[in-house]
């Protein structure tokens, strides 16, 4: 028997007050009715919204669903009318299908393996310690976002790619502008163009003077400068904002769940599991789109060729059929296999790097500041809007008891 067809009439624009870690109530309710709902986009396109875990995973693994940018014409909250969307520029492989996608992903895979990333652990520890030293010296009291969550992944990805961290003023704010979900179209275009200019100069500088890093390694391939720029953009934009938001929102979630925080402090061996649970629970990369390339039968429904499907990773990661008691943060959970890094050919290339960063930085923070706490009431913590591609806190005021002699 096919599931009855439900319609969700508009994408929710906010989370339930007091529940900053849960997906919007409307999405949780939609999943409770059915893992798939009809979703009429504001421009009139009849699309779909998928909120169930099994169905989301199946679509992510199915080559009949495309990630091609030129097919992504419909926006879930804005009516752009009948616009032409150009294909993804060379190198920007997140929004490509095979075989174009593999041309860029393949040369990178070996540079982001578990082994390679483990070798980086010591450097991540040093970078983390330096930032904790600076935070401690300047405190007590800090904005955890600017003192800790943002700079640590930014330094790491810059070093790995060979992007001078001193140049961050030329790309970091611009990339934040793409991802924070609050900029107008003109501001977005200006930020994109400025980042492109910076990356063009960077690739030219590497050609002239290669160094020991991922970008320089790629110079030996047949990739053009334009392609390298596109790849650098994807790696930079995917590489720091996601992990930064996991660090800050993850700390906020732990501070709001003191018994879980105490369990992690008491048993440092819990950290790998704890990081997986925080990834599932927070799902900062909330949702992605796919477009059906042909008619596809799923859960008793026909997804029509050309239909845009919104995959709500955050709601799929709260599916009670996959994760018992899904809205509880349980660091000892052993269910595994969350979709926070997606699945299929676009599954996060940097997931091992993100894991190393989270497994190092979160325990180091808790260890350095045993009395870490919010410096403002939890309701006053400023959150990113639902329109942001990547969810998180804008700032996280924290404080602690100064115990060390300066």
Residues that bind ligand HEM (CB under 6 A): 67, 93-94, 105, 157, 234-235, 238-239, 242-243, 246, 284-285, 288, 340-342, 346, 348-350, 353-354
Neighbours of 38 (CB within 10 A): 16
Q: Are 178 and 192 in contact (CB under 8 A)?
A: yes
* Phi, psi for residue 302 in degrees, rounded to 5: -100, 115
> Which residue, 72 or 134, has its beta carbon nearer to ligand HEM?
72
Minimum Å gap between C-beta 244 and ligand HEM is 9
Neighbours of 189 (CB within 10 A): 11
Cα angle 30-33-35, degrees, rounded to a multiple of 5: 70
241-267 burial string, b = 16+ CB within 10 Å, else e? bbbbbbbbbbbbbbbebeebbebbeee
Minimum Å gap between C-beta 399 and ligand HEM is 26
> Which residue, 37 or 243, has its beta carbon nearer to ligand HEM?
243
Minimum Å gap between C-beta 141 and ligand HEM is 26
Minimum Å gap between C-beta 10 and ligand HEM is 23
Minimum Å gap between C-beta 365 and ligand HEM is 16
State the distance between the two ends of the chain, measured CA to CA, in whole angstroms.
69
Q: Which residue is nearest to ligand HEM (CB)?
A: 350
Six-digit token string for 82:
């009948």
> Which residue, 34 or 67, has its beta carbon nearer to ligand HEM?
67
> Which residue, 65 or 198, has its beta carbon nearer to ligand HEM?
65
> Which residue, 120 or 147, has its beta carbon nearer to ligand HEM?
120
> Which residue, 136 or 308, has its beta carbon nearer to ligand HEM?
308
Six-digit token string for 98:
């095979």
Minimum Å gap between C-beta 246 and ligand HEM is 4
Of 168, 160, 128, 125, whose CA–CA distance to 235 is shortest? Answer: 160
């Amino acid at each position: 028997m096919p599931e009855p067809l439900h319609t969700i009439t508009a994408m929710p624009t906010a989370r339930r007050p007091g529940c900053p870690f849960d997906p919007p109530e409307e999405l949780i309710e939609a999943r409770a009715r059915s893992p798939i709902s009809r979703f009429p986009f504001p421009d009139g396109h009849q699309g779909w919204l998928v909120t169930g875990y099994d169905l989301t995973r199946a679509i992510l693994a199915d080559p009949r669903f495309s990630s091609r940018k030129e097919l992504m014409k419909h926006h879930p909250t804005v009516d752009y009318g009948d616009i032409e969307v150009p294909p993804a520029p060379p190198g920007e492989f997140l929004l490509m299908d095979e075989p174009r996608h593999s041309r860029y992903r393949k040369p990178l895979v070996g540079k982001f393996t578990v082994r390679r990333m483990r070798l980086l652990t010591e450097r991540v520890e040093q970078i983390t310690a330096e930032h904790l030293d600076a935070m401690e010296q300047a405190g007590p009291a800090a904005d955890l976002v600017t003192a800790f969550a943002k700079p640590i992944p930014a330094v790491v990805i810059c070093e790995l790619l060979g992007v001078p961290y001193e140049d961050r003023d030329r790309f970091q704010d611009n990339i934040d502008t793409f991802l924070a979900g609050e900029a107008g179209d003109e501001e977005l275009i200006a930020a994109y163009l400025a980042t492109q200019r910076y990356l063009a100069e960077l690739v030219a500088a590497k050609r002239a003077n290669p160094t020991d890093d991922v970008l320089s390694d790629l110079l030996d391939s047949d990739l053009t400068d334009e392609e390298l720029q596109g790849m650098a953009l994807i790696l930079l934009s995917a590489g720091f904002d996601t992990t930064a938001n996991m660090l800050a929102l993850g700390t906020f979630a732990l501070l709001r769940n003191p018994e879980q925080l105490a369990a992690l402090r008491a048993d440092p061996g819990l950290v790998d599991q704890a990081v997986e649970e925080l990834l599932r629970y927070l799902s900062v990369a909330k949702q992605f789109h796919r477009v059906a390339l042909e008619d596809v039968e799923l859960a008793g429904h026909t997804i029509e060729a050309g239909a845009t499907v919104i995959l709500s990773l955050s709601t799929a990661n709260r599916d009670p059929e996959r994760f018992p008691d899904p809205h509880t943060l349980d660091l000892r959970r052993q269910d595994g296999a969350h979709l926070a890094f997606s699945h299929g050919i676009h599954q996060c290339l940097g997931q091992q790097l993100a894991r190393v960063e989270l497994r190092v930085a979160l325990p180091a923070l808790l260890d350095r500041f045993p009395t870490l706490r919010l410096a403002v009431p939890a309701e006053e913590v400023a959150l990113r809007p639902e329109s942001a591609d990547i969810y998180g806190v804008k700032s996280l005021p924290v404080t602690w008891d100064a115990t060390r002699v300066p």
